[in-house]
Amino acid sequence: MPPQQSTAKMQAEIEQLQAEADIPREKVSVAAQSIKQYCNSNKDYMIPSVWGKEPAQANKFKGKAGACLIL
């Protein structure tokens, strides 16, 4: 590889790293608190310790059929 291509590739990599370094960061403790607040304020039955079991009538996508039989 000619030196000019190598230099151009390295310059592109440096620019990419500088752009990523400028991305605003959030502390893990702040992000965790935000997730906790979201989970406590939005009903999600995948978190039964907070919201309990899902009421049967709440799942409108659940089928009416019984068991599936494969012959």
Q: Confidence band (pLDDT; 50, 70, 90) for 20?
A: very high
Query: What's the pTM value of the predicted model, to 2 decimals?
Result: 0.45
Mean pLDDT for 31-44 is 87
Would you say residue 58 has pLDDT above 90? no
Cβ pair 51, 43 in contact under 8 A: yes
Give the residue among 69, 66, 63, 43 at the shortest CA–CA distance from 54.
Answer: 43
Cβ pair 39, 50 in contact under 8 A: yes
Rg (CA), the chain: 26
**Whole-number Å distance between alpha carbons of 44 and 53:** 10
